[in-house]
């Protein structure tokens, strides 16, 4: 509300006391910004004529109800209590438990001389209820006060932003910070004493930066066995979700999917980055080297090779028929033999394929047009031969694999169960989708606990089931499984999420946390830190011997007899067929 409008409203109530004018310009905008119901509690009916009560009834765009008791109803969001002095406030201390609510404690006989007693009451409220959104109004002096729990002082409110400024500097106050090994965070500590010694990663850098900007001391908590956690079957909560739900932590600086965790007692910071939730399966088996040349080129290339060979035979036959029909004389030096049409066609068919596979023919055609055609056919065969040879060289350097599962429909067709390691993955990964494929995949999900052997290691070794993980995990912490061709990420990821940090609801630190986080994201620092981690993950793959051994990094590929098995198989089969034909001709020649 603008100051001009406030002055106009104050003019309309010229009969009020001067002390009302001292706080009206500050208190009225604060009350007008409240969301939800507002209840005024009086000590008795006779206090309805007080100047402060009349001022509340005449001003402000808020819904106000009046109660003649000091009983605070939980269904009411905000409360104004008209009290006598600091001593009477002690009676309502246990009732100030609504952390998300706004409280205004108006004292009729409180003076600045009672500030030490008032500060002690403020400290008791903070220690007992862990919230400080309580305004204290001294009606006699017209002072509107707040408690700064971090500097243990009383702050006089001079503008509506006084409460927000308190949380801009926490004066080294210790905050309980929960962080664990995740995609962009890692912790190291002493397991015997359960003490965190250091934190690293993009999330950890952001946490350290926020701590410096807001001037608080991080008190890192030892991680639970269930890092993220979720809602159990008995209604309780585990992991980080459980800690935030029970208000055991102030901020969780580990990336959580911004989604429903089946509790209203947690809230999220502004989105820091995005990530996909993907499925992975065992990488398809490697194609044996004995049949590797058959897969060196695509099927369409082989089909084109066969069709051109047959088309070349037809063209040669047409040229021979045209030359014979027109009576074109043969080349004198060719010494053509008189052949029947059937034997001549058979000879042309054989010669065509001999030329097409780049083998010298025993006798050149007796016509110039046919020789020109054979020469052009040789040129085309060189192109196909070069394509085949380059493809063969490529597949022997980079091994080929059978076709992987690339869609969710193909995964459903395999019938493999889907194992998940975090309970939160099951909530809405496939649930609630109209697709029949999604419903069947949702029925196949099973929660398993990771023991000594990780889930991705189990998938890479056994291959009888699929797993679920974040896409960034396969790019960083589990990149060696992808680079060594042990697991395959299905490109069709069912879910994409914004990722933020978790706080208990309500949290007084949320507004200032978002202010710092959004500035870091807008400045590109978070993208810089996550990019550095991805690049370091790529560099670290060189430290794994299985990666170097499987991909033959740093040394040439030496072809052995096992690499040319197909050629020996073809030669053996050809020799056997030739022997059979020879024996058959010998047998028929004796008849």
Q: Whole-angstrom Cα distance, residue 560 to residue 449?
A: 45
Structure tokens at 84: 């006598």
Q: Is 175 a domain residue?
A: no
Q: How many CB atoms lie within 10 A of CB 523?
A: 10
Q: Is 137 a domain residue?
A: yes
Final residue in a domain of this structure, among 370, 397, 424: 397
Average pLDDT over residues 86-94: 81
Q: Is 456 a domain residue?
A: no
pLDDT averaged over every residue in the chain: 81
The predicted pLDDT at position 2 comes to 37
Of 301-310, 325-334, 546-555, least confident by mean pLDDT is: 546-555
For residues 273 and 499, the answer to whether their CB atoms sit within 8 Å is yes
Q: Cis (ω within 30 of 0) for the bond into 506?
A: yes
Which of the pair, 433 or 105, is modelled with greater confidence?
Answer: 105
Domain that holds residue 318: 296-397
Question: 249 pLDDT exceeds 90?
Answer: yes
Q: Is 202 a domain residue?
A: no
Taking the CA atoms of 325, 326, 327 and 330 in sequence, report the sign of the dihedral they define.
negative
- pLDDT tens, residue by residue, 346-373: 888 888 888 888 777 767 788 888 888 8
CATH number at residue 101: 3.40.50
Cβ-Cβ contacts under 8 Å for 488 (sequence gap 6 or more) = 280, 281, 282, 283, 284, 404, 405, 482
Final residue in a domain of this structure, among 373, 397, 421: 397
Structure tokens at 170: 């926490």
Both 162 and 306 in one domain: the answer is: no
The predicted pLDDT at position 502 comes to 95
Question: 3 pLDDT exceeds 60?
Answer: no
Angle made by CA atoms 37, 128, 172, in degrees to the nearest 5: 105
Q: Is 246 a domain residue?
A: no
- pLDDT tens, residue by residue, 397-447: 677 788 888 898 999 888 899 988 877 677 678 876 778 888 888 888 888
Question: 550 pLDDT exceeds 60?
Answer: no
- Please compute Rg for the chain using Cα positions: 41
Final residue in a domain of this structure, among 356, 377, 397: 397
The predicted pLDDT at position 9 comes to 36
Q: Whole-angstrom Cα distance, residue 412 to residue 432?
A: 17
Q: How many domains is the chain partitioned into structurally?
A: 3
Question: 175 pLDDT exceeds 90?
Answer: yes
Give the strand pairing for 418-420 and 466-470.
parallel
Q: Whole-angstrom Cα distance, residue 587 to residue 581?
A: 10
Q: Is 528 a domain residue?
A: no
Of 170-179, 471-480, 554-563, least confident by mean pLDDT is: 554-563
Q: What are phi and psi of 145, to 5 degrees?
A: -120, 155
Question: 520 pLDDT exceeds 90?
Answer: yes
* DSSP structure string for 480-503: HHHHTTSEEE-S--SEEEEEEEEE
Q: Is 567 a domain residue?
A: yes
Q: Is 385 a domain residue?
A: yes
Q: Is 134 left (phi over 0), alpha (psi -120 to 50) or beta?
A: beta
For residues 105 and 89, the answer to whether their CB atoms sit within 8 Å is yes
């Amino acid at each position: 509300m603008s100051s001009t409008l406030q002055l106009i409203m104050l003019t309309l109530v010229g009969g009020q006391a001067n002390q009302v004018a001292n706080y009206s310009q500050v208190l009225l905008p604060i009350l007008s910004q409240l969301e939800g119901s507002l209840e005024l509690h009086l000590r008795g009916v006779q206090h309805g004529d007080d100047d402060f009560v009349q001022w509340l009834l005449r001003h402000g765009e808020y819904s106000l109800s009046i109660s003649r008791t000091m009983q605070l109803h939980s269904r009411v969001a905000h409360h104004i209590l008209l009290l006598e002095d600091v001593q009477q406030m002690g009676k309502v201390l246990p009732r100030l438990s609504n952390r998300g609510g706004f409280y205004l404690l108006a004292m009729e006989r409180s003076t600045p001389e009672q500030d030490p007693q008032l500060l002690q009451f403020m400290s008791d409220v903070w220690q007992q209820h862990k919230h400080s959104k309580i305004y204290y109004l001294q009606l006699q002096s017209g002072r509107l006060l707040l408690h700064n729990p971090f500097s243990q002082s009383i702050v006089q409110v001079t503008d509506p932003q006084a409460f927000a400024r308190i949380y801009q500097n926490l004066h080294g106050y210790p905050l309980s910070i929960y962080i664990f090994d995740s995609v962009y965070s890692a912790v190291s500590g002493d397991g015997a004493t359960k003490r965190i010694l250091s934190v690293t990663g993009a999330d950890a850098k952001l946490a350290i930066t926020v701590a410096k900007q807001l001037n608080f001391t991080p008190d890192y908590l030892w991680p639970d066995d269930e890092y993220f956690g979720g809602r159990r079957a008995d209604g309780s909560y585990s992991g980080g979700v459980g800690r935030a739900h029970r208000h055991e932590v102030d901020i969780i600086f580990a990336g959580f999917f911004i989604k429903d965790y089946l509790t209203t007692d947690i809230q999220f910071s502004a989105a820091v980055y995005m990530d996909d939730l993907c499925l992975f399966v065992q990488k398809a088996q490697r194609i044996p080297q004995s049949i590797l040349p058959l897969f060196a080129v695509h099927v369409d290339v082989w089909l084109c090779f066969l069709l051109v060979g047959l088309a070349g035979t037809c063209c040669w036959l047409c040229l021979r028929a045209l030359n014979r029909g027109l009576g074109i004389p043969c080349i004198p030096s060719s010494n053509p033999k008189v052949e029947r049409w059937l034997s001549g066609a058979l000879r042309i068919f054989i010669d065509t394929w001999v030329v097409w596979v780049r083998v010298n023919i025993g006798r050149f055609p007796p016509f110039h047009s046919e020789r020109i055609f054979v020469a052009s056919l040789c040129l085309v065969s060189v192109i196909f031969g070069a394509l085949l040879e380059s493809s063969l060289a490529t597949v022997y350097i980079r091994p080929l694999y059978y076709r992987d599962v690339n869609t969710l429909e193909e995964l459903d067709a395999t019938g493999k169960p889907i194992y998940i390691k975090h309970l939160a993955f099951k909530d809405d990964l496939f649930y609630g989708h109209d697709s029949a494929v999604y419903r069947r995949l949702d029925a196949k999900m099973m929660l398993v606990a990771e023991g000594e052997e990780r889930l991705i290691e189990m998938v890479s070794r056994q291959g009888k089931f699929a797993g679920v993980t974040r896409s960034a995990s396969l790019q960083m912490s589990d990149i060696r499984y992808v680079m060594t061709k042990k697991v395959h990420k299905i490109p069709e990821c069912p879910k994409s999420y914004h990722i933020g940090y978790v706080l208990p609801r309500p949290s007084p630190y949320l507004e200032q946390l978002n202010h710092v986080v959004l500035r870091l994201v807008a400045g590109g620092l978070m993208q810089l830190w996550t990019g550095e981690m991805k690049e370091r993950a790529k560099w670290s793959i060189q430290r794994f011997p299985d990666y170097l051994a499987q991909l033959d990094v740093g040394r040439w590929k030496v072809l052995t007899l096992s690499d040319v098995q197909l050629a020996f198989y073809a030669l053996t089969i050809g020799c056997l067929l030739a022997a059979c034909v020879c024996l058959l001709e010998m047998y028929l020649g004796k008849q």
